[in-house]
Structure 1
Amino acid sequence: MAMKPKVYVLDPYHKDAIALLRSTDWIDLILWDDSRKADWQKDAVGVMLRSDTRLTGSDFRLAAAAGNKLRVVVKQGVGVDNIDLAAAAAAGVAVHNTPALNSESVAEFSLALALSLSRRVTEIDRRVRQGEKVARSRVLGLSLFRKTVGVVGMGNIGRIAARKWIGACESRVLAYDPVAPRGVWDREQIPHTRVGSLEELLREADVVTLHVPLLDSTRGMIGGRELACMKDRSILINASRGGIVDERALLEELRRKRIWGAVLDAVEVEPPTLEAYGDFLELDNVIITPHIGASTIENQSNSGLAVVRTLLAVLEGKDDVPGKLV
């Protein structure tokens, strides 16, 4: 009898995704809490992962040395900076992601973060929990109604974020993306002004929300010079990837309290620790969360199921499986 292909799930997935895998009787399933996971390179035919695990060139070389059994890697979400794509291509391994599925949740969370900061929700909550009597006249928030929102990155998340800002706050939207085709939002009738430079957006926006992947061209794109361009009492949102914002420069800007503050769901050290971000967390004008923009019950179920269906389709030899990167 032919051996069943071994599928390794390297990171925790939603129970619905695991149920679908368990119901697939032609695979041998190894989950993240199984001791065999440590040696997955020896016999994995398919691999599922999230952002918690990195697949390096060494991993792909070990898999190839074991007989080149590995056929496909599927990552939940859009970002694949934790996978060495060049090494995967060299080893003949297909890499897929799940584009667009996280967009609604991430856009929703970026809006929630900005409103929480502007109305000082987390700051006031902490003070109440500490037993402080809070004088309302001393904790005035900042209204974002009909303010200008600058969306950096005009992909799926940026598009949905723009719609949410318009619907929730009647925002004027500026958009910047050096590679998106001309008129990319026009067919969806999203009212916006597309600017020709990041600097122009930063100088006009009351809220700057980042929705770009981490690439050589975007690493450090918001540094000291860019932060200095931002308006007084403006808000910076990074719900995309750590590394896009120069965190040292941001810390200095937050300490000056010229801008209203920053909300960060993506930082360079993930998950964020007190050791790495203690200086940030001493400040009231910053909110840091551990990259949970996509973490809703609904999204984790849908995304996990999409990963499983993608992996199974590749192993079944189907053509035109969505999300292929390599």
Structure 2
Amino acid sequence: MARKILVTPRSFGQNSSAPLDLLKEQGFDVVLNPHGRILTKEEMISLISEIDGVIIGVDPLDKEVLQHARKLKVISKYGVGTDNIDLEFAGELGIPVTTTVGANKEAVADFAFALMLGVARKLTMIDQECRKLNWVKLTTVDMWNSTLGLIGLGNIGKGVARRAKGFNMKVLAYDTVTDEEYAADNRIEYVSFERVIQESDFISLHLPLIPATRHIIGRRQFEMMKKTAVLVNTARGGLIDEEALYWALKENKIWGAGIDVFEQEPPAKSELLELAQLIIGSHCAASTLDAIDNMGIMASANLIETFAKEAM
């Protein structure tokens, strides 16, 4: 009997049949997301009981779901963030978890930079006024020759740093794991978390969501930021305390924010949707044609390779 593979990401194979072809060539019986949206825990439980392998997006794969996955042998993450997966329990069950490291790094770095520029220059506000035939001249802030603070200097953070060179930006970085050689070669200065917060004109988050990083940006950090600071998050929802974000924007403690990821999507705090200084994304930073193809092919290849190792 063919192994059953559940594929939950809606964009999987959207532009190219290659990711799906790889699975079918191996004789897998592929079950695609039947709802066209992020699956609920209850839907995951109902689907996963007879599944041998899963290519998972941001859908819930916690302990309760995994307890119902009695045949599951491989988890292939479509992306790099694994906070929706109970890695510890998967390990106890002997289920390996793979990720598509690097597949979408350039797309996300592009989007992070776009958010910074969009917020700084109030692009959405200007667009909305022009549509009302109000040719107002809004005063904005510059990115050129400013200071970029990266909280997390992994693949995507490095991509944002490369783009900052074109804007003659000074780059500060904070990370618990440092790449001193790369930093020296690219004129990036490692500093304390507090210095990134206090000295940066633009702050971009590139961290995984773990207990130590949850709400790493809260009211205290907003109070430390410049009044003209722009905060961008294309990493994981939960890094920013959304109550504190609302307060900071409402009270004009910072210039603005560009947020592509929320703790709950759409955000539970609907008042955020009313703030003009906030540009909101739908967790779409990685949604480019190339990135989608890369992630799909890599996720399929990871799953196939892991099954092959299991058979040895």
> Does the TM-score normalized on the shorter chain lie above 0.5?
yes
Match 1:55 to one of 38, 43, 61: 61
Q: Does 1:291 align with 2:283?
A: yes
Using the alignment, how far apart are the partners of 2:196 and 2:233 within structure 1?
A: 15
The one-letter code sitting in structure 2 at the alignment partner of 1:56 is D
Say whether the 8 Å CA contact 1:10–1:37 is kept in structure 2. Answer: no
Using the alignment, how far apart are the partners of 1:37 and 1:214 within structure 2?
A: 22
Matching residue of 2:88: 86
Using the alignment, how far apart are the partners of 1:184 and 1:243 within structure 2?
A: 31
The one-letter code sitting in structure 2 at the alignment partner of 1:62 is H
Sort the Cα spacing of 1:39 and 1:254 in 2 relative to 1 into closer, same or farther, 3 A. closer
Q: TM-score, normalized by length of structure 2? A: 0.90
Using the alignment, how far apart are the partners of 1:305 and 1:314 within structure 2?
A: 14
Say whether the 8 Å CA contact 2:19–2:293 is kept in structure 1. Answer: no
Say whether the 8 Å CA contact 2:44–2:65 is kept in structure 1. Answer: no
Sort the Cα spacing of 1:282 and 1:31 in 2 relative to 1 into closer, same or farther, 3 A. closer
Matches within 5 A, 1:79-158: 79-129=81-131, 131-136=132-137, 139-158=138-157
Sort the Cα spacing of 1:281 and 1:271 in 2 relative to 1 into closer, same or farther, 3 A. closer
The one-letter code sitting in structure 1 at the alignment partner of 2:256 is G
Q: TM-score, normalized by length of structure 1? A: 0.87
The one-letter code sitting in structure 1 at the alignment partner of 2:57 is R
SS in 2 for 1:219: coil
Using the alignment, how far apart are the partners of 1:316 and 1:102 within structure 2?
A: 25
The one-letter code sitting in structure 2 at the alignment partner of 1:143 is D
Sort the Cα spacing of 1:40 and 1:283 in 2 relative to 1 into closer, same or farther, 3 A. closer
Offset of residue 62 of structure 1 = 2.0
Q: 1:181-205: per-residue Cα shift (whole Å, max 9, x none)?
A: 3515247x2111111x211111111
Using the alignment, how far apart are the partners of 1:38 and 1:243 within structure 2?
A: 24
Matching residue of 1:8: 6
Q: 1:1-44: per-residue Cα shift (whole Å, max 9, x none)?
A: xx11111212321233454246415222222229x986433321
SS in 1 for 2:109: helix
Q: 1:257-278: per-residue Cα shift (whole Å, max 9, x none)?
A: 1321111111112133xxx343
Question: Which ranges of structure 1 fall in alignment gaps of 5 or more residues?
Answer: 320-326
Match 1:185 to one of 182, 191, 214: 182
Using the alignment, how far apart are the partners of 2:208 and 2:181 within structure 1?
A: 18
Matching residue of 1:260: 255
Q: Does 1:27 align with 2:34?
A: no
Matching residue of 2:79: 77
Using the alignment, how far apart are the partners of 1:91 and 1:77 within structure 2?
A: 22
Offset of residue 49 of structure 1 = 1.4
Question: Which ranges of structure 2 fall in alignment gaps of 5 or more residues?
Answer: 36-42
Offset of residue 211 of structure 1 = 0.6
Using the alignment, how far apart are the partners of 2:23 and 2:235 within structure 1?
A: 32
Matches within 5 A, 1:132-281: 132-136=133-137, 139-167=138-166, 169-177=167-175, 179-181=176-178, 183-186=180-183, 189-195=185-191, 197-272=192-267, 276-281=268-273
Using the alignment, how far apart are the partners of 1:304 and 1:264 within structure 2?
A: 24
Using the alignment, how far apart are the partners of 1:293 and 1:21 within structure 2?
A: 25
Using the alignment, how far apart are the partners of 1:62 and 1:283 within structure 2?
A: 41
Matching residue of 2:304: 312
Identity of aligned residues (%): 34
- RMSD between aligned residues: 2.0
Using the alignment, how far apart are the partners of 1:50 and 1:117 within structure 2?
A: 28
Matching residue of 2:38: none
* Count of paired positions: 301
